[in-house]
Amino acid sequence: MTSSTASLYNTVRSTDRNPLNSYHFPTIEILKGGIESGFRHVEAKQDDTVRLLHVRGTKNFVRVLEVNPDCSALNSGDCFVLLKSNIIRVWQGESSSGFERNKAVSYAKELGSAKAKMEVMVTGQADAEVSEFYSALGGLKGSIAAPPVEEKSSSAAKSLHKVSDSSGKLEFTKVGSPKITMSQFDAGDVFVFDIGHELFVWVGNGASDAERKGWLHLAGKYLQQSGRNPATPVVAFKQGGEPKEFVESLDR
């Protein structure tokens, strides 16, 4: 569903139960102009523009990707949020997880409260009133797509990069490829793990404030310099809160 005009939002939830040890990662948007156009918080807009957001994730993290506002973008395995005028509609695919459904609703409510407390309506794929959701997207032509097959990364595409300010300035250095193991990660720094179709940002417990704040710019610059789609998903988390896909992408 990713396209050159897509906007990417990454919402990351720390699995650390101690709030004193948690690190807040904001919801961010990569604008349609790409990395150089900057980052800003998501805001709900009250106009006639139709926007469709794809919500997909696990209990450890979720990503929200803006996709083409058309029924062809829907699939039964995920949730979608439709923004139009002063109404926000949440569409829940019949095979979507409970976490995705809850997150889509809470995300929609966050957008709704951003400006003028926009109304949030929730619709299941099999609900009678679902036709209103489809109509807002130009009507359903055919059937809803099946859940997408999980994309597998190639080991040849994997690489590990360290974000460190040990030299006095923030630097981004490649430290491994293509075999990446957990032993290559250092708690004193931030690491960007590139698995081809996605970037993982691993924040060490001992990373400096500069490293914690600087990885976003450097990761964006990395995508740009390598000719990658600026909407490539970037999933960030703190040491100890590693999601399943991250662990499964490591070599033993």
Residue 76, pLDDT score: 94
pLDDT of res. 114: 61
Number of neighbours of residue 143 by Cβ within 10 angstroms = 8
Which superfamily does 43-136 belong to?
Answer: Severin (3.40.20.10)
Percentage of the chain lying above the pLDDT 90 cut? 30
Q: What is the pLDDT of residue 193?
A: 93
pLDDT of residue 95: 92
Euclidean distance between CA atoms 178 and 26, whole angstroms = 30
pLDDT at position 160, please?
95
Lowest-confidence segment of 36-45, 81-90, 211-220, 226-235 by average pLDDT: 36-45
- Inter-residue contact 42 to 111 (CB < 8 Å): yes
The answer to whether 199 and 230 are in contact (CB under 8 A) is no
Residue bearing tokens 């794929």? 125
* Across 57-84, average pLDDT: 83
pLDDT digits (tens, 9 = 90+) for 203-223: 999 998 888 877 777 777 777
Question: What torsion do the CA atoms of 237, 241, 244, 245 make, to the nearest 10 degrees?
Answer: 20
- How far is Cα of residue 81 from the mean position of the Cα atoms in its chain? 14
Percentage of the chain exceeding pLDDT 70:
73
User: Taking the model in full, what pTM does it have?
Assistant: 0.53
pLDDT of residue 45: 47
Domain ranges of the chain: 43-136, 155-249
Q: Identify the CATH class of 155-249.
A: alpha beta
Asked if the domains 43-136 and 155-249 are classified in one and the same CATH topology, the answer is yes
51-57 β-sheet, strand order? 39-40, 28-30, 8-12, 61-67, 51-57, 79-84, 87-92, 119-124
